[in-house]
Structure 1
Amino acid sequence: MTTQLLGRKAHREGPILSLATDVYLPKARLHEACGAARRVFALWLAAHLDGPVFWISPKWLPEQLHPEGVLPFIEPDRIILVRAETPEDVLACTEESLRSGHVPLVVADIPAPTGLTAVRRLHLAAESGAAATRVAPLGLILTPGAGGAMGVEARWQLEPAFDATTPSWTLTRLRARTAPVKRWKVTDLPAAKWMPLPDPA
Structure 2
Amino acid sequence: MSRPHALLTRAPHQARPALSVMGELSFAQMRVHELCGRARRTLAAWVAGAVQAAAPGPVIWVAPAWEKDALFAPGLAGLCASERFVFVHPTRPEDVLWTLEEVLRSGAAPLVVGDLPGLPGLTQVRRLHLAAETGAAASGGRPLGLLLTPGQTGGAPGVESRWRLDPAHRPEAAGWRLTRLRARTAPVRDWQVRQGAAGPELAGATG
RMSD over equivalenced CA pairs, Å: 1.7
Counterparts of 1:115 and 1:147, CA distance in 2: 12
Q: Say whether the 8 Å CA contact 2:35–2:164 is kept in structure 1.
A: yes
Q: State percent identity of aligned pairs.
A: 48
Identify the match of residue 180 of structure 2 among 173, 195, 199: 173
1:138 is the counterpart of 2:144? yes
Instruction: Give the Å deviation of 1:14.
Output: 2.7
SS at match of 2:89: strand
Query: 1:93 matched to which residue of 2?
Result: 99
Identify the match of residue 122 of structure 2 among 98, 112, 116: 116
Instruction: Give the Å deviation of 1:67.
Output: 1.1
Query: 1:195 matched to which residue of 2?
Result: 203
Query: 2:133 matched to which residue of 1?
Result: 127
Higher relative contact order (CA 8 A, sep 6+): 1
Query: 1:24 matched to which residue of 2?
Result: 26
Q: Say whether the 8 Å CA contact 2:113–2:147 is kept in structure 1.
A: yes
User: With structure 1 as the length reference, what TM-score do the two structures score?
Assistant: 0.89
Identify the match of residue 39 of structure 2 among 23, 37, 40: 37
Amino acid at match of 1:196: G
In structure 1, runs of 5+ residues without a counterpart are 1-9
Instruction: Give the Å deviation of 1:125.
Output: 0.3
Amino acid at match of 2:178: L
Instruction: Give the Å deviation of 1:135.
Output: 1.2
SS at match of 2:199: coil
Counterparts of 1:74 and 1:21, CA distance in 2: 18
Amino acid at match of 2:201: K
- Would you say how many aligned residue pairs link Structure 1 and Structure 2? 190
User: Which structure has the larger Rg over C-alpha atoms?
Assistant: 2
1:41-63 CA distance string (max 9 Å, x none): 11000111123100000111101
User: With structure 2 as the length reference, what TM-score do the two structures score?
Assistant: 0.87
Q: Say whether the 8 Å CA contact 2:162–2:180 is kept in structure 1.
A: yes
Query: 1:48 matched to which residue of 2?
Result: 50
1:177-198 CA distance string (max 9 Å, x none): 1110011111127732212333
Identify the match of residue 159 of structure 1 among 151, 155, 166: 166
SS at match of 1:74: coil
Say if 1:131 and 1:177 are closer, same or farther in 2 by CA, change over 3 A. same
Moved more, 189-198 or 107-116: 189-198
